[in-house]
């Protein structure tokens, strides 16, 4: 859902770089909050959360159906936009991260989700100026990337 549009926006190569950076950022934040944990951090959820963060910035008005569940039963569907659906998800991740940090009750890397998401938001926000707003198969040139890196 998120990946296809974000990859189309940035192009294959830059999408891969963004994915890796978000994964590393998620891992870093997870370890910052769990430095003494014996539970290994395995998976790509921080990187995937980073792509959701990119989507949050690049496509803020996309339509979403936010489904509310009680156990396995769907209670309600709320039509919303990206900010509502993804915003609710990242808020949930933050709440669960704080709770599980306090009671050490989960092996889910919620901090990795948050770290990846923050990195995705930052990357999308800083790189979106290099692309037109159509979001179709854009690719950043090496010269533009070098310009961005040097701050000129």
Domain ranges for the chain: 2-150
pLDDT value at residue 138:
43
Q: Taking the complete model, does pTM exceed 0.85, yes or no?
A: no
Q: Which residues contact 120 (CB under 8 A, 6 or more apart)?
A: 18, 22, 49, 50, 51, 52, 53, 54, 55, 56, 57
Q: What confidence tens digit (pLDDT) does each residue in 13-58 have?
A: 999 999 999 999 999 999 999 888 887 888 899 999 999 999 999 9
pLDDT (average), residues 111-139 = 81
């Amino acid at each position: 859902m998120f990946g296809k549009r974000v990859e189309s926006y940035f192009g294959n190569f830059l999408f891969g770089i963004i994915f890796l950076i978000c994964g590393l950022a998620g891992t870093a934040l997870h370890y910052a909050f769990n430095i003494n944990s014996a539970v290994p951090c395995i998976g790509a959820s921080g990187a995937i959360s980073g792509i959701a963060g990119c989507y949050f910035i690049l496509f803020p008005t996309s339509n979403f159906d936010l489904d509310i569940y009680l156990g396995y039963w769907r209670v309600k569907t709320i039509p919303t936009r990206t900010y509502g659906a993804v915003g609710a998800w990242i808020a949930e991740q933050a709440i669960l991260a704080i709770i599980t940090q306090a009671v050490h009750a989960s092996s889910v890397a919620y901090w990795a989700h948050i770290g990846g998401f923050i990195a995705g938001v930052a990357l999308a926000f800083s790189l979106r100026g290099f692309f037109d707003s159509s979001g179709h198969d854009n690719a950043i040139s090496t010269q533009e990337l070098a310009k961005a890196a040097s701050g000129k």
